[in-house]
Chains A and B, each alone.
Chain A
């Protein structure tokens, strides 16, 4: 008897079992792919005072300086994501926003009057907590 045939996995499972293991794994995988497929944004729109001042493709890594209401703000694109980098906002000197990459995502520095928005489906947003707005 070869060692392989004595192995626990082989002993403990029938042919149906093994098919089941494989098929269920595939099913879960495809479910995950289906649920998480989101159109990746193609470019980011930079707005100053609600007017588009810049459009950058997310495919090219770069850092662009934009004039904000309180001084210069750096917009950094890297590996399909974008963020606000090193902006001197009164309450946060030299800080940066988080990365955004999904279509429709946006990030803003309100005092700088700068808004970054990734293009793409401007409609449905899946928020995991299912809230439409937050009162604060």
Chain B
């Protein structure tokens, strides 16, 4: 799924840190924005998880997601709070979906933006699937840990709709970023 074999570990970790930093930064920026409420975050930070997935593979994406959730929660002071567990469950759902989809790697010679995963989905499709999984896991976690009765499922269509929209937006953004990045190899040389 990636040019993994081609790049040395230090370089790989550097790239992951860049993406993770971008993800955390976006996450904190979003948290600072007022208005939308605790449930309706645009989740733009997930864009970087996607970029990591398509450039570096599933494990890298998992790393970026995990770092984002942990560092983000510590920075915002929500570490180990119910919000934190919601974030973790959402991230786990998304990452697991990515893992499933990455089963069959497509032609590694293709620039990352054009990669296809299991089922022929591209960047936007993967983003949409991961986003749906993310919100579903969060709602289940909220139902289990916090709310306790089935009333929350009445709100499910709204949550799913939001996730559908942000999934597509994130996918498009990730695509654009990947297109730009495609001009460089993973080692930083211009193609």
In the complex, A touching B, CB below 8 Å? yes
Q: Chain A: residues with CB nearer than 8 A to chain B?
A: 8-9, 11-17, 20-21, 24-25, 28-29, 31-32, 35-36, 126-130
Distance between Cα atoms of A21 and B164 in the complex (Å): 8
**Contact across chains for A24 and B157 when beta carbons are under 8 A apart:** no
Nearest CB in chain A to that of B148: its residue: A130
**Contact across chains for A126 and B151 when beta carbons are under 8 A apart:** yes
Q: Does B150 contact A (CB under 8 A)?
A: yes
Q: Chain B: residues with CB nearer than 8 A to chain A?
A: 113, 116, 119-125, 128-129, 132, 149-151, 153-154, 156-157, 160-161, 164, 168, 171-172, 175-176
**Contact across chains for B164 and A16 when beta carbons are under 8 A apart:** no
* CB < 8 Å neighbour of A20 from B129, B153, B154, B156: B129
Residues of chain A with a CB closer than 8 A to B150's CB = 130
Known A20-B128, A21-B128, A128-B151; contact A14-B157, beta-carbon cutoff 8 A: no
Nearest CB in chain B to that of A11: its residue: B175
Residues of chain B with a CB closer than 8 A to A14's CB = 116, 120-122, 124-125
**Contact across chains for A24 and B120 when beta carbons are under 8 A apart:** no
